[in-house]
Amino acid sequence: GAVVSQHPSRVICKSGTSVKIECRSLDFQATTMFWYRQFPKKSLMLMATSNEGSKATYEQGVEKDKFLINHASLTLSTLTVTSAHPEDSSFYICSARGGSGVTNYGYTFGSGTRLTVV
Amino acid sequence: DQQVKQNSPSLSVQEGRISILNCDYTNSMFDYFLWYKKYPAEGPTFLISISSIKDKNEDGRFTVFLNKSAKHLSLHIVPSQPGDSAVYFCAVGQAGTALIFGKGTTLSVSS
């Protein structure tokens, strides 16, 4: 089945530094990738949608200069949290669409990244 | 304004009984509806889905019902098992755009 690998699974960084999170589709080409953020005991909130080779589309309220998304190939998208602050601490999850899954409509999720900014 | 609502933050059920999780949505244009199970610090795990042209889909212990006129879907788990304890999210989508998630319902199944 379709597999999405997300790394790192957890990262601790100092305030003011940048952190990059990778999302790879291992056995399919992902035409579209989505980035979500989840606060404790809250829903998964869509941050942005990225299509290979084009600029990401950000949801309202998400700072595109702070959360840089690159989708340079059909199997890799990256989210870089720039100049991280403690309020950026959260659980980030990517989703790739393009697998052959019929029942899940082609949406496959990564295992998430726990970011802690100290 | 939430497009997807799960109004019950938590549900407690005894092992062997039925668990019913509910979800309401606002946009009649959604094409497909999915349920996910999630543990803390993990990605969501797909459980079951249903398209807008159906009203019921069954997979083992899991059944999803869709009432389009009421814009309501539900997930039935029977019999419930302690291993089913987790947070359950409903998600809706259309035309390949991003899935929109509800806030989740925490299911606790006691033995």
**Per-residue pLDDT averaged across A90-95, rounded?**
97
Q: Which residues of A touch B46 (CB under 8 A)?
A: 101, 103-104, 107, 109
pLDDT bin (cut points 50, 70, 90) of residue A52 is confident
Name the phi and psi angles at B35, rounded to 5. Answer: -120, 135
Distance from the B21 Cα atom to the nearest Cα atom in chain A, whole angstroms: 16
pLDDT bin (cut points 50, 70, 90) of residue A2 is confident
Contact B89 A43 (CB under 8 A): yes
**Shortest CA distance to A90 belongs to which of A7, A6, A10, A4?**
A10
- The CA distance from B8 to B15, in Å, is 19
Contact A43 B102 (CB under 8 A): yes
> How does pLDDT run across A98-111, given as a tens digit for each residue?
877 778 888 999 99
**Per-residue pLDDT averaged across A3-29, rounded?**
96
**Residue A102 structure tokens:** 């019929």
* Per-residue confidence (pLDDT) for residue B9, from 0 to 100: 95
- The CA distance from B58 to B60, in Å, is 6
> How does pLDDT run across B4-44, given as a tens digit for each residue?
999 999 999 999 999 999 999 999 999 999 999 999 989 99
Task: Search chain A and give the residue with CA nearest B44.
Answer: A109
pLDDT bin (cut points 50, 70, 90) of residue A54 is confident
Name the residue among A46, A93, A106 with its Cβ closest to that of B43.
A93
Mean pLDDT estimate for chain A: 93
- The CA distance from A42 to B44, in Å, is 13
Contact B33, B56 (CB under 8 A): no
